[in-house]
A = this chain, B = another copy of it.
Amino acid sequence: MSSTQTEGTGRLEAFSDGVFAIAITLLVLELKEPADGSGGLWHGLVHEWPQFAAYLVSFFIIGIMWMNHHSMFSNIVRADRKLLLLNLLLLLWTSLIPFPTALVSRHLSGNGADASTAEAVYSANLTLAAIAFSGLWFHAVRSGLLAVPMSREAQRSSIWRFSVGTLVYAATIGIAFVSPLAALVIQFLLAGYYLFEQVVTRDPRTA
């Protein structure tokens, strides 16, 4: 297959759906029963609140990434080799999320240097996912893989929104060293932003 040849996106979407669905569901395996049972189970669960906070943030981030991947590919109708590779990069960072989530779960309440390290690693992971997401979209726009070509205006606007999100994620790497909890809260809010701000402004199948 020559590198300029393209194909449909059916199996790419199926494979991506699988990875998103598995990554989001594996998060539950990082939830641990409180090790110290001296104060009773309920006390232990309350004490372990960081693992539930991290679970929730990661669940919504992966879920909303899936929703946006979904929206994006309702407009991307052709896949070339490079798109497959950029998508694989996005899946790499997505399927890695359970690992730094576990780091945050265990260290956030400590609030020392390890809490900052854990949250910064988590932030770096999310930043890399955001960069891969942007790269995927920019490549699709530039290489004419869309069903409906975007106007220059719409392109500039979508690049702007992606860049803002990516920069905020990158900023949380630094914020993690000031307040790990604040960084986590910002990431939760940013997921909410992506919930309502979509890159695709028009769905060619329904409009």
Contact = CB atoms under 8 A, between A and B. Distances in A.
Contact of A203 (B1, B3, B117): B1
- Residue in A24, A27, A81, A202 with the greatest tally of chain B CB atoms within 10 Å: A24
Contacts of A42: 113, 117
B19 A25 contact: yes
Contacts of A106: 33
A20 B24 CA distance: 11
B19 A24 contact: yes
Interface string A77-94: 000010011001001100
A7 B22 CA distance: 24
B17 A15 contact: yes
A206 B196 CA distance: 35
A174 interface: no
B59 A28 contact: no
A99 B102 CA distance: 15
Copies of this chain held together in the complex: 4
- Residue in A55, A70, A74, A196 with the greatest tally of chain B CB atoms within 10 Å: A70
A196 B3 contact: yes
**Interface of A (DSSP majority class):** helix
A24 B169 CA distance: 25
Interface in A6-63: 6-8, 11-15, 17-29, 31, 33, 37, 40-42, 45, 55-56, 59-60, 63
A165 interface: no
Q: Please give me the 3 A-B residue pairs with the lowest Cβ-Cβ distance, nearest first.
A: A18-B21, A22-B25, A41-B114
25 contacts: A1-B71, A1-B200, A1-B202, A8-B206, A11-B17, A14-B17, A15-B70, A18-B20, A19-B24, A22-B22, A23-B25, A23-B28, A26-B26, A27-B95, A28-B99, A31-B96, A40-B114, A41-B103, A41-B107, A41-B117, A59-B95, A63-B88, A63-B92, A64-B88, A67-B88
